[in-house]
Amino acid sequence: MGLRETLLALISVRLFLAAAEVIPRVSFHYGSSDRLVKWFEAEGASHYTTLLLSADGETLYLGARETLFALNSSSFESSRHQHSHLSWKASEDKKKECAFKGKDSERDCQNYVKILLQLNATHLYTCGTYAFSPSCAYINIQDFSLEKDSAGNPILEDGKGRCPFDPDYKSTAIMVDGELYAGTVSNFQGNEPIIFKSQESRISLKTENSLNWLQDPAFVGSAYIQESLPTGNAVGDDDKIYFFFSETGKEFDFFENTIVSRIARVCKGDLGGERVLQRRWTTFLKAQLLCSSPDDGFPFNVLQDMFVLTPGGEHWNSTVFYGVFTSQWSKGGPGSSAVCEFTMNDVQRAFSGLYKEVNRETQQWYTYTNPALEPRPGACITNSVRRMKITSSLQMPDRVLNFIKDHFLMDSAVRSKPLLLQTRIRYQQISVQKVKGLKKVYSVLFLGTDDGRLHKAVIVNRKVHIIEELRLFKDKLPVQKLLLNPRQGLLYASSYSAVVQVPVSNCSTYKSCGECILARDPYCAWSGKACRNIYPYPAEPNVSHWIQDIEEADTEKHCRRENITIPNRKVNRPAAEDTQCQKIWLQPNVVSALPCKLLSNLASRRWVHNGEKINTSYLVMPDGNLILVGSPERLGLYECWSVEGGFQKLMANYCVGSEKAVKTVTLKLDTVKTIPDGAYVDRISNMSKSISPFESHLEKRTGKTYWNEFLIMSILFGVAVVILGLFLLYKHRDGMKTFLKPGECTDVQHKKPGKSGTPAESRPLTGNNIPSTLSDHKGYQTLNDNYIISTPLHDALVNSKSFLPSEKRPLNFMDTHVEVSPTCQRPRVRLGSEIRDSVV
């Protein structure tokens, strides 16, 4: 009884998790011919962490460890010598020095390229860690070589304040009008974070360390928004540079080491102060980015990536910020993540609202409610400030600059509810594209996971539909970077070991009108004959009769015409399957399994026997296999239909005969018996276009245990007991169903709980045994105790190596009790005497 209870509890937790999940409609396994992924890998090269696309989209520049590449987009996969490459190794002196200072000579004392930016029409600017001695260099685009001095040595600049020392440190950099703005650390120990603007000829500016403007930040991105446009407007604002990062939230003193996500900004025209804040930012302000679950307020507080979708030019005010967040605390399962969307309006409201004030003695934070000073501290020079005869930050009154020293944090957060919330998937990277569909413009999200997968999703009425899932990398390494090439309709993704290129869509995988409409892919439309790409815009000018229905995916409305125009062809039924069926010979009292793969993870199955829907006297396994025991009434024609939103498609067709009747057996019974093997399923119904990795995993698992048990049972007890066993299994299953999920929740257990090939149950719920995907971080531990406490906290989360922080928290799963109310409520967690909703 105890075991049964534990099992049921486990299952119910899993069902709850599965319910929150948004399942990709179709999944393509690694190397699928339907979604060809081109692959680049060079011998000896690794850590492809920096990607840059040339202005014309023809060339992809790639920064890796000790080397850089210029790849031709149109011949991406060709061998290495067809691409240009450039070796940029740290000098032997620096490597020795680095090893002498106690760094790992293999891991740390190399040159990891962290910055690669377009400087001007002829040159790129690059920075690398250069064996813990960051350096920057110029690359001549023409011949893809480092710019050299007259003696033939590469011209190197000090990269301090631009590029981190440690290859694992998360930093960001952006080039604006030939000036580099970087968010990084400026010292060897890695405990002096900085936002730095530098250019040889002009004043360099930085954040003030003694004022703690930054608290162990992990930068994820930066953006340039031309808020001065249109020129000559009444406000006369300045252009701004935004930085996105997570850091220790000192304003939350009730939890130690609470991480918060931030958006920070500086004005492009900032020149620093004259007497106060000399060579420091006078416009540095930051605000919290808050992405939390709408039902229980569970915070996704660790920003992993930010994509700034901006129409540019004078329409900058419709810029949208898309962030991918994970949480410092675990919410059951191996990991969770959320995608939140913030508008420019919300961001501006936070930056023009109240300030927070820090009491330097107690380090406590309060809302500053006194009337704000004039000119407004931290704001850029606008026309109204110019009217006060202040034309640059050098002329700002000292009282304004002194105020900003302690009032750099905004009181209100920029809030958002998740567009997408996953409890078993850790998104790491995001790229967004506006796609012009046939009728409307849609936002398409590309999301990279920490195990090498890509999700492509479309936002429909503030809901996210995941169109497809692709496995990009053979090894389950995290996706490091995503980069869209909109001109060529391509997406690049990099991991530590390889870079891949994949078209944003392949509409020809959808073979019928129904599939094309159900896909809800804004890149695709049904032309009446085939599912066709409409992006980049189709060669055919006449698309007026093409069909796309992203909002409703109404196949009955749009695909009906087809039934009428081609009446003598059974639409949606593959021609070959019409007349042919897979022949199965049943032996008396022997069990056979008929597999049925579905087209889509969102479809349901309908088994039909001799034209009638099967009833409960038939046994269908959770993976959809129909189990037949050889008996006369089970002979005949079986069809398995995929049913999705009114659209049906025949997926498998079996003619089951008895072996006695036909002596000339062509199909060996052995093969039928070994059906549980996933590969065999493919052979039987090879029209199924996609295999969900989880599904095949489940199939293998249930298939195997089932067969082992069956064989043992048949040997021991013979045929009668087998039938009894099946009967019991069937009853047990029914009982479980009613016990667990009454009412509307019953169908939940048929949903595939996850897509990862790794069985989720092999991971402990706290997740702290998850194997490290990265090399260890001894480099950090030799640095500085202070730093270890804070930064690896980010890092641990970033790299999904462990969820150790959660163990220290009161929200630890193991210390809490889960209650599942019978009416499909979310589990509640007891924390001593207080109850928190759904923080599992």
What residues make contact with ligand NAG under the rule CB under 6 A? 33-36, 58-59, 72, 74-75, 119-123, 138, 317-318, 345, 503, 506, 508-509, 542, 544-545, 560, 563, 571-572, 612, 615-617, 648, 683, 686
Cβ(644)–Cβ(651) below 8 Å: no
Identify the residue whose tokens are 């060339």: 59
**In the complex with ligand NAG, which residue's Cβ is closer, 301 or 555?**
555
Rounded-to-integer distance, Cα 758 and Cα 751, Å:
17
For residue 790, give the 3-state DSSP assignment: helix
Name which of 767, 795, 754 is nearest 23 in CA terms.
Answer: 754
**In the complex with ligand NAG, which residue's Cβ is closer, 231 or 544?**
544
Backbone phi, psi, residue 634, to 5°: -95, 0
Name which of 347, 350, 382 is nearest 238 in CA terms.
Answer: 382
Name which of 655, 650, 697 is nearest 676 in CA terms.
Answer: 697
Q: Report in angstroms how near the CB of residue 433 gets to ligand NAG at its nearest.
A: 18
Backbone phi, psi, residue 50, to 5°: -125, 120
Name which of 285, 460, 456 is nearest 377 in CA terms.
Answer: 285
**In the complex with ligand NAG, which residue's Cβ is closer, 48 or 125?**
125
**In the complex with ligand NAG, which residue's Cβ is closer, 544 or 738?**
544
Cβ(485)–Cβ(509) below 8 Å: no
Identify the residue whose tokens are 């004959």: 529
Rounded-to-integer distance, Cα 413 and Cα 290, Å:
6
| Omega before 299 within 30 of 0, i.e. cis | no
Phi-psi region of 468 (alpha: psi -120 to 50; beta: other; left: phi over 0): beta
**In the complex with ligand NAG, which residue's Cβ is closer, 26 or 380?**
26
**Cα R_g (the chain), whole angstroms:** 30
**In the complex with ligand NAG, which residue's Cβ is closer, 542 or 769?**
542
Q: Report in angstroms how near the CB of residue 618 gets to ligand NAG at its nearest.
A: 8
Question: Which sign does the torsion angle of CA 477, 483, 487, 489 carry?
Answer: positive
Q: For residue 323, what are the CA distances in angstroms to 146, 301, 304, 803?
A: 35, 11, 7, 21
Identify the residue whose tokens are 């969820």: 803
**In the complex with ligand NAG, which residue's Cβ is closer, 117 or 719?**
117
**In the complex with ligand NAG, which residue's Cβ is closer, 231 or 542?**
542
Rounded-to-integer distance, Cα 244 and Cα 183, Å:
9
Name which of 387, 344, 378, 96 is nearest 225 in CA terms.
Answer: 344
Backbone phi, psi, residue 729, to 5°: -55, -45
Structure tokens at 350: 């936070």
**In the complex with ligand NAG, which residue's Cβ is closer, 360 or 560?**
560
Rounded-to-integer distance, Cα 272 and Cα 284, Å:
10
**In the complex with ligand NAG, which residue's Cβ is closer, 201 or 362?**
201
**In the complex with ligand NAG, which residue's Cβ is closer, 212 or 317?**
317
**In the complex with ligand NAG, which residue's Cβ is closer, 119 or 770?**
119
Task: Give me the torsion for CA of 104, 105, 109, 111, rounded to 10°.
Answer: -120
**In the complex with ligand NAG, which residue's Cβ is closer, 370 or 542?**
542
- Residue by residue, DSSP assigns 454-466 as EEEEEEETTEEEE
Q: Report in angstroms how near the CB of residue 305 gets to ligand NAG at its nearest.
A: 24
Question: Which sign does the torsion angle of CA 378, 379, 384, 385 carry?
Answer: positive
**In the complex with ligand NAG, which residue's Cβ is closer, 514 or 753?**
514
Ordered alpha helix ranges (H), 267-343: none
Q: Report in angstroms how near the CB of residue 686 gets to ligand NAG at its nearest.
A: 4
Question: Strand ranges (DSSP E) for 177-301?
Answer: 179-185, 193-198, 205-206, 218-225, 240-248, 259-267, 285-292, 299-300
Cβ(179)–Cβ(199) below 8 Å: yes
Long-range pairs, 228-231, Cβ under 8 A, ≥24? 229/313, 229/314, 229/316, 230/313, 230/314
- For residue 414, the surrounding DSSP H or E stretch is strand 414-416
**In the complex with ligand NAG, which residue's Cβ is closer, 118 or 187?**
118
Q: Report in angstroms how near the CB of residue 286 gets to ligand NAG at its nearest.
A: 22
**In the complex with ligand NAG, which residue's Cβ is closer, 461 or 616?**
616
Q: Report in angstroms how near the CB of residue 48 gets to ligand NAG at its nearest.
A: 20
**In the complex with ligand NAG, which residue's Cβ is closer, 337 or 509?**
509
Backbone phi, psi, residue 6, to 5°: -60, -45
Instruction: Tell me the residue type at 477.
Output: L
Phi-psi region of 102 (alpha: psi -120 to 50; beta: other; left: phi over 0): left
**In the complex with ligand NAG, which residue's Cβ is closer, 149 or 834?**
149
Task: Give me the torsion for CA of 601, 607, 613, 614, rounded to 10°.
Answer: -120
Determine the distance from the C-alpha atom of residue 485 to the mean position of all C-alpha atoms in its chain, rounded to a whole number.
18
Q: Within a 13 Å sphere around the CA of 162, how many CA atoms are in the beta-carbon half? A: 29
Name which of 263, 248, 220 is nearest 413 in CA terms.
Answer: 263
Name which of 183, 178, 175 is nearest 200 in CA terms.
Answer: 178
Q: Report in angstroms how near the CB of residue 190 gets to ligand NAG at its nearest.
A: 29
